[in-house]
Structure 1
Amino acid sequence: MSENQSIDLLSLQTMAKVFGSLFYFPLTDSNNQILLAALAQDENLQDSDLQAWCQQVKGESNEALNQDFFLLFEGGEAMLAPPWGSVYMDREEVIFGESTVAYRQFLRSHDIALDTGMREPEDQIGLMLFAVSQLVEQEQDIESVKVLFAEHLLTWCYRYFELVEKHAATTSYKQLAKLVSQWCEAVQELLTITPLAVKLYR
């Protein structure tokens, strides 16, 4: 999606789900491979930044992409771009921090369950994008979607995308971070969202 492309609620729901998958599973995962093939062939995305990015992914080795995913999302010796919101918003830079608890309460109040089969923080970037998609799908009131963005996602995600761009070893992950950052900016403008001002510790 080009950054200047308008976003309606249907595409908001769809793209949040797409980007959620791309940030939660490895790009080499079979589901993401199917998704990438579909995006590459989508006539509505012809000549778009997103379609150009799909071609970029095809040009990089699975080994390089898997190594990047491990370092960025699972962690080597040092986590250079942690994908959890509380690491940025908690003074101690921990997962399952106070912001995670607040976000969990928000999800419960809207009957959203993110059951991945593992005990992991709900404020992982990919899971949060999945939650956006689910909330748009089930809510008639766009205000709750705006609250999710304003109070829980936009508070930290731009900093996160900066770090991914800086530390990713592959062009694919660098460009993906830039694309999703631009998408978030477009959503913020479309829905007239003012992110909650919070102190970041990363």
Structure 2
Amino acid sequence: MTEAAQIDAPQADSEDRAPPRERLIDSAKNLFCRYGINSVGVDAIVERAGTAKTTLYKLFGSKDGLVEAVLDREGQAWRSWFLAEIDGPGGSARERLDRIGPALKIWFTRDDFFGCPFINAVGESDKTDDRMRALAISHKKIVIDRLSALCDEAGMSEAEKIAHTIGLIMDGAIVVALITRDPSAADIAARACKSILESAPV
């Protein structure tokens, strides 16, 4: 583990009443997202969570089990937030699709933006191991399905293809924003999405 990760991994407050499972997931999430899954050991996670190592293994079986739990939690949280951003204010399907870029910009400007945890996990994992890839695809499918439904509602004849194109634009913007730390990648994504949507066949 990096020296920075060791310094930034304080023990959990003894007054923290959250169950051990929640503390372990939250602690692992914070460390994994910032430093990377492979850079963070079990010792740092349990120290930050204020639990015993045996508790981690009892609850998750292994570090890999904890990684999957973190990704499941993060995926659900991000999807709930993102879909609320585009659907919450209401409006037409096209108006909802036009909120993708602004929603990404909100995310990119947050202090805790460290890229997509699924993209990061696949990037760190053995490329012949499909476990992380399957988790990432499952997460992505839920998002693409919603975008496809909106494209269909907007009267576009190739809704699924357009949704996948928008998904590619989103993924590219996420990686660029992570590398450059420049939230304006979302503005570029917004313009690209607008061009795709305006030229979509109906």
TM-score, normalised relative to structure 2 = 0.28
More relative contact order, 1 or 2 (CA 8 Å, 6+ apart): 1
The structure whose Rg is larger is 2
